[in-house]
Amino acid sequence: MPQDSSSLEGALYLRSLFLGPPKEGKTTTLIKSACESLGLGYVIECSSKEHLRTAQAETVGKPWQFDVVKSQEDFDTAIKTARGGAKEGKYKWVLVDDFNVFADRLEVKLHEQFKAGYVAFQQLGMILQNNTLRLLDIPECHVMFTMHLMEVSEAVIEGQVPKKGKGLVPCLTGKSRNVIPGHMNQVILFQKNRNGERVFAVNPEGVWGIGIQGGRNKDTAEIPADLNKLIEHIRGT
């Protein structure tokens, strides 16, 4: 059934990937801001329960829910939980924290399962993309991912996807480096500025792979690490 273009003037839902160095405070900042700005949400934690301790301490009185995922079976269950909670109107946001950690763990398992390396990489790409698309397809819910952004070797092996360049996430393997960020409407750099304040760098000049694909505001900006501010910027308000 065709929909009128005017239906796109409703609420804006984030489909965002936040990239930043480890230990910069991505997890705590995003969970705290999401609770304050959006309401109850659900974290799919790919690292460990301990990784969420600081976020819990910073959000006392503003509860959120989480599951730690260690396998694809865990991830399938988490996606079902996220979709069900959003459909019921309970979850206003879903955060997949340190998705690259899950990707690394899954890669090891697939290499153990498939002796041929190319088969393992093919399966890895398919599973990671499928997980991403199933979550991004959740209606009327903000969906966010975090991944590490670290320096990597620029050496290129013949026939493989480069580790650096426009639209690439260096901590993922193979085609996933450009396929996964390509599904996001916003790819945002999370960092501390010169004053030590945590900020979102939006469309930063000279930074590969970072930028807003959806929304009205294409300007380069450094805004406070606040999801309400981010939504306002995307809307151009």
* In 18-98, alpha helices (H): 26-37, 53-58, 72-87
pLDDT of residue 204: 66
For 58-92, how does the pLDDT look when each residue is reduced to its tens digit (9 = 90+)? 999 999 999 999 999 999 999 999 999 999 999 99
Structure confidence at residue 156 as a pLDDT band (50, 70, 90): very low
Domains of the chain and CATH, by start: 13-235 (3.40.50)
pLDDT of residue 218: 64
R_g over Cα of the chain: 18
The pLDDT mean for the chain works out to 85
Using the predicted structure, report yes or no on whether residue 229 has a pLDDT greater than 70: yes
Of 4, 29, 236, 39, the closest CA to residue 141 belongs to 39
Structure confidence at residue 163 as a pLDDT band (50, 70, 90): very low
Over residues 6-16, the mean pLDDT reads: 83
Position 191, amino acid: Q
Higher-pLDDT residue of 86 and 202 is: 86
Contacts for 119-127: CB closer than 8 Å, 24+ residues apart: 121/173, 121/174, 124/173, 124/174, 124/176, 125/174, 125/175, 125/176, 125/179, 127/72
What pTM, to 2 d.p., does this model score? 0.88
